[in-house]
Amino acid sequence: MVNIFALDIGGTKIACGIYDENLDLVREWKVPTGKSLSDIEGAVLKACRRAREEAGIAAIGISAAGNIKPDRRTIAFSTNIPCWIEYPLADIIEAECKVPVIVENDAN
């Protein structure tokens, strides 16, 4: 089974969902975002580890508010998370989870 992990990172919470190959929701949960860069990064990585352990994942898709660079990997700046400036979110998560990661603006 191929599962995809999706995160919607907001200023106060991270909504998490695991979807199967038919894009049916298998599991969902929410975690607090945190305030500092290390708190936010820790919450995101912890959620990714949980998804990997519970369901196995083949890819990760992330939505976040702010300006996402055209490479769809880096957050130039975020309106909800001001500490994200030129933040290489996809690179950080890929290094931990060893699966492809893409980042999109949450309005797309």
Which is nearest to 80 in space by CA: 12, 29, 6? 12
Q: Please count the other Cβ atoms lying within 10 Å of the Cβ belonging to residue 23.
A: 8
Q: 């769809």: which residue's tokens?
A: 72
What is the pLDDT, as a whole number, of residue 95? 95
What is the pLDDT, as a whole number, of residue 107? 84
What is the pLDDT, as a whole number, of residue 80? 87
Q: Give me the domain span that covers residue 44.
A: 4-105
Q: Maximum distance among all alpha carbons in the chain?
A: 37
If one counts the domains in the chain, the total is 1
List the chain pLDDT tens, one digit each, 108 residues: 789 999 999 989 999 999 999 999 999 999 999 889 999 999 999 999 999 999 989 999 999 988 999 999 999 999 889 899 999 999 999 999 999 999 999 887
C-alpha distances (whole Å) from 23 to each of 1, 36, 51, 77 are: 12, 32, 15, 29
Which CATH number is 71's domain given?
A: 3.30.420.40
Q: pTM to 2 decimals?
A: 0.91
Burial (Cβ within 10 Å: 0-12, 13-18, ≥19) of residue 8: middle
What is the pLDDT, as a whole number, of residue 100? 97
